[in-house]
Structure 1
Amino acid sequence: MQNRPFTYLFWIQYLGLRYHGWQRQPGVKTVQGILERSIRYVLGHEDFTVLGASRTDSGVSCLKGAFELFLPSPLDPEQFLKTLNENLPSDIRILQGQKVPLDFNVIHHVVEKQYGYYFAVGEKPHPFWAGSLAYAGRALDIPLMQKGARLFVGKHDFRRFCSHGKHTDDFVREVVQAEISKAGSVWGGVLADNMYVFRVRAGGFLMHQVRRMMAALILLGKREISLEDISQALVSLEKSAFPPKAPANGLVLEEVVFSEATKTPGSPT
């Protein structure tokens, strides 16, 4: 990156419904691909690099993610943000931007990520919610699911709660928060009483980990599995996935937290 010594951190949110995930891929529409196309138009050149803090899956949304922009010359983050937002589609928005030190790394300096999986129980929600709310069925035992969620807290081997990548050999992750509560008021609107969120926070996650954890909790809420089944899966060394994946549309990357040492004055908290 020596030929691009000016580094900027930007905070981003997007609705994942129309996109095949964050990462740029040939032949499909992705958030990174659309973002880079817009940046190229605003800058008038393609001498830049974009590095995302988290590669969300197809259909997954983001409330407060981040990406790093490397440039060969300086810019005004506030003016750039305004112009960029005017040229992005309505389902992608840049929230804030700032200059960061050259040694800042938007991937390596992440200390925590928080996901929320939003789901409805009972009456099927209005189709307009489908972009960021999953439907979990007519009846679920929510108190039992809340007990199940607490089983994920702590350091566990999550090999049965993830999709195995080619280079994945470390399945241990420490979850610092895992709970189910009423969704309440989010995204500037008030949700119905039958809408809930499974919120989970950790230093990092395995591929599809949150969606498989959520799927296990839904099966638990339907009483198709037990609390003991989840506990046993967390200590099992089997490689096969224990639950399926919950639908992607309920999953939202809610926050990315960076280490204090990398923050500059004015950084978002």
Structure 2
Amino acid sequence: MQRYKCIVAYDGTGFAGYQVQPGKRTVQLEIEQALSKIHKGDSVRIAASGRTDAGVHARGQVVHFDSKLQIPGERFKKALNAMLPRDISILDASPVDMDFHARFTSVRKEYRYRISLSEERDPFLRDYAYHYPYPLNLEAMKEAAQYLKGTHDFTSFCSAKTEVVDKVRTVEEIIFNTSDDELVIQFIGNGFLYNMVRIMTGTLLEVGSGKKAPAEMETILAARDRIQAGKTAPGHGLYLWKVDYA
């Protein structure tokens, strides 16, 4: 058997999420069905660096699978792209060692959250950026973000539905990029909990709009209580941008 690593981009608009769900269209299902065709009906399971929710996009999702077909990665890439729907693209495919794991050997992830600040909503961005047409104090948001950087227990910033016990994560960078009427927030860290980036974004927006003070971030973290943080920002503004490995 040969293990292959793929970098995958997808438009999450038409999916119920990444993970297979009975009766629903998912990214994992589409890729596994394409792999099954390539393997003449044999089932091939893929493992991903992480799951994404309904509507969430990816520019650099990473998956791996094992195959008895030891062929060049470029051929796998072309074969998969010929069979996959137009809202999924394999950007790269390459053979890797059998000890590589898309999830467990990752060392860093980057997510980006797009926010449209224009007064009028742009119909062409309705599925790709969160429309937030209200004044924002960007400096206050940057100040608040400093409290989130570093190693913390992020219980307050993850969904209460998460089954993960260890909620300690390290956020290395939170970077704010503005261009015209758009704000993009980059979140870089060693890993993120379920809905963590969307909750951090929603809370930072509350700081930017004056509903919360920047220093409240410290109190929210210490509380370890989801209720203390802000609303969860919508999924369609979120992108899994990049996954790094040692």
TM-score bucket (shorter structure) = over 0.9
Q: CA RMSD in A?
A: 1.5
Shift of 1:239: 5.2
Shift of 1:133: 0.8
Tell me what 1:149 maps to. Answer: 145
Unmatched segments (≥5 aa) in structure 2 = none
Structure 1 position 98 matched with structure 2 position 85: no
SS class of match (2:218)? helix
Tell me what 2:233 maps to. Answer: 246
Tell me what 1:134 maps to. Answer: 130
Tell me what 1:212 maps to. Answer: 199
SS class of match (1:227)? coil
SS class of match (1:105)? coil
**Could you tell me whether the CA contact under 8 Å between 1:117 and 1:250 is conserved in 2?**
yes
Instruction: Report the count of equivalent residues.
Output: 246
Classify 1:47/1:122 alpha carbon distance in 2 versus 1 (closer, same or farther; 3 Å): closer
**Partners of 1:108 and 1:171 in 2: CA distance:** 16
Classify 1:138/1:167 alpha carbon distance in 2 versus 1 (closer, same or farther; 3 Å): closer
Q: Deviations over 1:49-78 (max 9, x none)?
A: 211111111111001111001112312221
Higher mean C-alpha displacement, 25-34 vs 142-151: 142-151
Tell me what 1:228 maps to. Answer: 215
**Partners of 2:20 and 2:172 in 1: CA distance:** 31
**Equivalent of 2:181 in 194, 197, 200:** 194
Q: Which amino acid aligns with 1:258?
A: Y
SS class of match (2:85)? coil
Tell me what 1:171 maps to. Answer: 167
Identity of aligned residues (%): 28
The normalised TM-score by structure 1 is 0.87
**Could you tell me whether the CA contact under 8 Å between 2:158 and 2:226 is conserved in 1?**
no
**Could you tell me whether the CA contact under 8 Å between 1:153 and 1:176 is conserved in 2?**
yes
Tell me what 1:188 maps to. Answer: none
**Partners of 1:36 and 1:73 in 2: CA distance:** 15
Higher mean C-alpha displacement, 219-228 vs 109-118: 219-228
Shift of 1:91: 1.1
Tell me what 1:32 maps to. Answer: 28
